[in-house]
Structure 1
Amino acid sequence: MSKMTPRSSNPEFDSLVPNTPFTRRAFVISMLGVGFALATQPVMADTVIKTSTEGLIAGEIKVPVSDGDMVAYRAQPDKGANFPVILVISEIFGVHEHIADICRRLAKLGYLAIAPELFARHGDPRKISSIQDILDNIVAKVPDAQVMSDIDACEAWAKAHGGDTSRMAITGFCWGGRITWLYAAHNPRLKAAVAWYGRIDGVDSELTPRQPLDLAAQLKAPVLGLYGGQDQGIPLDDVEAMRAAIKKAGGKSELHVYPDAPHAFNADYRPSYRKGAAEDGWKRMQAWLKKNGV
């Protein structure tokens, strides 16, 4: 029998995941480009939020992971030290301009924000024009346990580069929203999490063996879930099921629904953007982070 490669640094999470070995492979994405993902074109230029790098250190970094260096985007204030850390997890489109801007917005608030390119081994979603192709040929190949390990590596990078990981949170959007829930059940050092319209339930597979709803009683940090009442991909029944599961577990997580908002209501570069819900969600996120010591 061949030796199995460890799936993550957290034994409790490993116990939930089949022992499928990972083979060492080259990273497809070695550099981050500028601009928006092809699949999101045409961009809604009138609503795009553009945050400058003035007063910031911002740009590409390389994060050492188990099989090489993973590219990521980092933004932080250019003065000071020991900044609280925010891990920013992208949608299926990877770390494109919107996610980079989210990092800059957080840096303007005093955080060290890191957005890892978690699809780096499997393909570059920013260069693919078909959403279905991204889902089938990249997203479907990414194991949850690999993602957990890669985000752990971002924590280690932040700690080694002036971040205060005793004040650490995670936030994610769409695909990254689901990952946010999973990471809140994975890392006991996490203080808070904010999941923007992340899938709550779904079909289990070898690479995605557990869903957020399965882990409601195992959350190690309180999660604020922000959802749209008109989201065609996340039924309100799922949101209510998660709310009930959290209550049953005695957890401190909360879910908020914007009744008239669709999926991706914070994506200011897409037609789904809803300014009112996005701005309110951003305020709620800031309050949640402060409430939980981040």
Structure 2
Amino acid sequence: MKDLVQDGDSLVGASTLEDGVDRRVFLKAALGTGFAAAVLPVEAQTLVKTDVTGLSAGDHLIVINGQEVPVYRAQPEGKTNPPVILVISEIFGVHEHIKDVARRFAKQGYMAVAPDLFVRAGDASKVPNIADLMRDIVGKTPDAQVMLDLDTVVNWARQRGGDTDKLGITGFCWGGRITWLYAAHNPKVKAGVAWYGRLVGEPTANSPKHPIDIAQNLKTPVLGLYGAKDTGIPLESVERMRAALDKGNSGSTFHVYANSGHAFHADYRPSFNEADAKDGWRRALDWFRTHGVV
């Protein structure tokens, strides 16, 4: 099956795996199975598992400038023109937790789309440790390419019936940083929710700007959900970002959880804080609904 996705002034093919393809082979080849090697073993006793009852969900390939980009999509079965939520992964890629988050949004009436934005650098699920993952996968994924990929994914979602006039974005850790940046990049984004994404940093060739650099001119309301005990994202950087946002008029805000550290929403990791994760999820849904992503 073949769709066409508008990419700037050109058309790129969007191949979807729906007929005559062994999905198990595709999953192993394109997105990996289960969870990323770098986060094993998984805290199985706390895993949230969202079924596909009432949903249309599956894996797709979008071809962007000759590169096949895997995408996981979930949406309510039979619902026309659902609002669209982009779900941006952590550094570990689109593993089972990110897919489950997409299904959770689908249960709320959204078309949720989670693209593998690291695919050009390699398979994030197979890298055994975080240091190699940061150097060989994340460090070789330019922000500019991520913005282009997300633009194309949005167009693909629109062509598949999603209402991209009601577009939201959410992301976790690395994806939280991308949430801030893409909200500034694409004026069609109505609202964003950034979960513990890095806010400040030194510029590099692949990451020339960080969220604090776009804060003052940001127009899209973004809710930042952060942990006070996050040793990698100190509260000082949250306060710097808050002060920069206050100079603009995006309506963005933060909620900081006093008893949580990093990755408190990740129910497969020891950092999971169930109470704060549930509260953050409620706040995220309220944020999207309040800002027209409904």
Q: TM-score, normalised by structure 1?
A: 0.89
Instruction: Find the aligned partners of 2:155 and 2:49 in 1 and give their Cα distance.
Output: 29
Matched, 1:217 2:228: no
Residue in structure 2 matched with residue 229 of structure 1 by the alignment: 228
AA of the residue aligned to 1:91: E
Contact 2:63-2:69 at 8 Å conserved across structures = yes
Contact 1:266-1:273 at 8 Å conserved across structures = yes
Shift of 1:229: 0.2
AA of the residue aligned to 1:100: K
Instruction: Find the aligned partners of 2:29 and 2:62 in 1 and give their Cα distance.
Output: 11
Show structure 1 runs of 5+ residues with no match.
1-7, 10-28
Divergent runs of 4+, >6 A: none
- 1:198-213 correspondence to structure 2 within 5 Å: 198-213=197-212
AA of the residue aligned to 2:49: K
Instruction: Find the aligned partners of 1:67 and 1:255 in 2 and give their Cα distance.
Output: 39
- 1:1-294 correspondence to structure 2 within 5 Å: 31-294=30-293
Shift of 1:251: 2.6
Contact 1:201-1:238 at 8 Å conserved across structures = yes
Instruction: Find the aligned partners of 1:217 and 1:66 in 2 and give their Cα distance.
Output: 33
Instruction: Find the aligned partners of 1:64 and 1:167 in 2 and give their Cα distance.
Output: 24
Instruction: Single out whichever of 154-163 and 30-39 deviates more from structure 2.
Output: 30-39
AA of the residue aligned to 1:116: P
Contact 2:260-2:276 at 8 Å conserved across structures = yes
SS at match of 1:87: strand
Instruction: Find the aligned partners of 1:226 and 1:262 in 2 and give their Cα distance.
Output: 11
Two-structure CA RMSD over aligned residues (Å)? 1.4
> What are the superposed Cα offsets for residues 51-77 of structure 1, whole Å, 9 maximum, x if unpaired?
001111111011232233311100011
Instruction: Find the aligned partners of 1:118 and 1:228 in 2 and give their Cα distance.
Output: 25
SS at match of 2:80: coil
Instruction: Find the aligned partners of 1:284 and 1:44 in 2 and give their Cα distance.
Output: 25
The percentage of aligned residue pairs carrying the same residue is: 55
Contact 1:30-1:120 at 8 Å conserved across structures = no
Instruction: Find the aligned partners of 1:251 and 1:187 in 2 and give their Cα distance.
Output: 14
Instruction: Single out whichever of 34-43 and 206-215 deviates more from structure 2.
Output: 34-43
Instruction: Single out whichever of 151-160 and 30-39 deviates more from structure 2.
Output: 30-39
Provide the aligned length of Structure 1 versus Structure 2: 269
Contact 1:224-1:288 at 8 Å conserved across structures = yes
> What are the superposed Cα offsets for residues 241-281 of structure 1, whole Å, 9 maximum, x if unpaired?
11111111133001110011010000000000000110000
Instruction: Find the aligned partners of 2:249 and 2:109 in 1 and give their Cα distance.
Output: 32
Instruction: Find the aligned partners of 1:255 and 1:242 in 2 and give their Cα distance.
Output: 9
Q: TM-score, normalised by structure 2?
A: 0.89
> What are the superposed Cα offsets for residues 66-107 of structure 1, whole Å, 9 maximum, x if unpaired?
233311100011111100000000000000000000000000
Instruction: Find the aligned partners of 1:156 and 1:286 in 2 and give their Cα distance.
Output: 23
SS at match of 1:200: coil
Contact 1:56-1:75 at 8 Å conserved across structures = yes
SS at match of 2:207: coil
Shift of 1:131: 0.7
SS at match of 1:31: helix
> What are the superposed Cα offsets for residues 210-251 of structure 1, whole Å, 9 maximum, x if unpaired?
010000022231100000000010010110111111111133
Instruction: Find the aligned partners of 1:30 and 1:85 in 2 and give their Cα distance.
Output: 26
Instruction: Find the aligned partners of 2:58 and 2:217 in 1 and give their Cα distance.
Output: 34
Greater fraction strand: 2
Structure 1 217/66 Cα, relative in aligned 2: closer, same or farther at 3 Å?
A: farther
SS at match of 2:45: coil
Shift of 1:203: 1.2
Instruction: Find the aligned partners of 1:237 and 1:250 in 2 and give their Cα distance.
Output: 21
